Structure 1
Amino acid sequence: MRGWWREISGLVLPVACGGCGTPRTPLCEECARTLYGAGARRARPVPEPAGLPQVHAAAPYADAVRALLLAHKERGALGLARPLGVALAGAVRAAMPSAAPGSGPLLLVPMPSARRAVRVRGHDAARRMAQAAAGELRRTGTHARALPVLRQRREVADQSGLTAHQRVANLAGALEVTAGGARLLEGGRAVLVDDLMTTGASLVEAARAVRAAAGLRCPGHLRLSAAVVAVPPLSLEINRN
């Protein structure tokens, strides 16, 4: 019901930019330049956890970008899913810049949200952005689709306040690929996608779960990378390599 109400209210209530509050637009030109202008680049957490796939980020997590992500995720500004998906698509292109002839579609695997978080928020932010990014990639000529095959298999402790190593331990074994998901991953061009990377612990666990599932059916043939909308600039090394 809450998600339905947000969909309807977005059509009838006044719209303001999620980044700065400028009226009559969900994303003003200045905030759009901040979101898209940096260009996707490689991002590495410090320290970098073992098992982390190569990650590309669209923008630093600061100022307008931070406000946009929070407005979409926590305040239900669902109209931001598409512009955030466009930014995410840029990071996906950087993560998977080319494909061999005859290769399958690019598979965007969103990080799963806890069921309780989805109920509270009224929507699944990562899944919405993955779908929007896949649509943008298709629009620009890339065969892509969102593939939400990850799920939580157990509860995890609140990550806030935990160190990077504690976060990895907290999430170890917490995710799994859904029944039938391994078959859908065949083809090996999978990209883990999310709104934000901090320590990289969540992506490490997601990568482990995807590799484990894919390895049962097509060992040695999985191409796996990761793409996110934003990374905190003070806790990461960001470069163009």
Structure 2
Amino acid sequence: MWKNPLNETACQMSPLGDSAIVLTFGNGIEYSIHKKIKLFMEMLEEEPFAGFVECVPAFTNLTVFYEPLVIYNTHKQSDEAISPYHVVRSILEEKLLDLMEDKKLSHRTVTIPVCYGGEYGPDLEYVARYHDLTTDEVIHIHSTGEYLIYMIGFAPGFPFLGGLSEDIATPRRSSPRMTIPAGAVGIAGKQTGVYPISTPGGWQLIGQTPAKLFLPNVNPPSLLQAGDMVKFQPISEQEYKEMKGG
């Protein structure tokens, strides 16, 4: 366990294969952990070390990928063997000393239009019954929330959003669907998310967006990024069709 002597930052570092290192900052889905991950990720991307490839954030950790050969050639000083992992670990430990936890974290806000209920949200009525609410109340609660993207994963461009109200938090379906359409908006426990591509899944589907979240020919290919804030805007079926181009 690495600890910063100047503040309370601590993280567990471990190798992932021969070209990556995982920095774990905690063990819960918490904003304070997300903030450390995001700030350190920004630091590495703004001032990359020789051999740095990319960072991939998750709920509690940050995976740093690097080129072992570049690290080896950059840091070898004799014929003695060196460990690229230990070199990168030392570099990251030095950079962690400069992590400013009191720095304000900026968030881009993305508004996603959603057509709720009906064929677009087949589980909306179930979610309403589960909480003894009307479907309009579920829509109101879901669409007035503001959600932080903790990570992108599961499927290309799939955002895991935190901040769902306990009033509509609903367990996953007991039997997952074999096919869920791209754009489906769902709830699973205390999280909400949007399926960017057609895929199997067990989330409770309450609506669908005409927005495309996964754009394979664009860099980056994901419309949403970890650290973004998401708001949902209710739209009518007619508006959905117009935006969809149908």
> Structure 1-normalised TM-score?
0.25
Q: Which has the higher contact order (CA 8 A, sep 6+)?
A: 1
Structure with greater Cα Rg: 2
| Higher helix residue share | 1
> Structure 2-normalised TM-score?
0.25
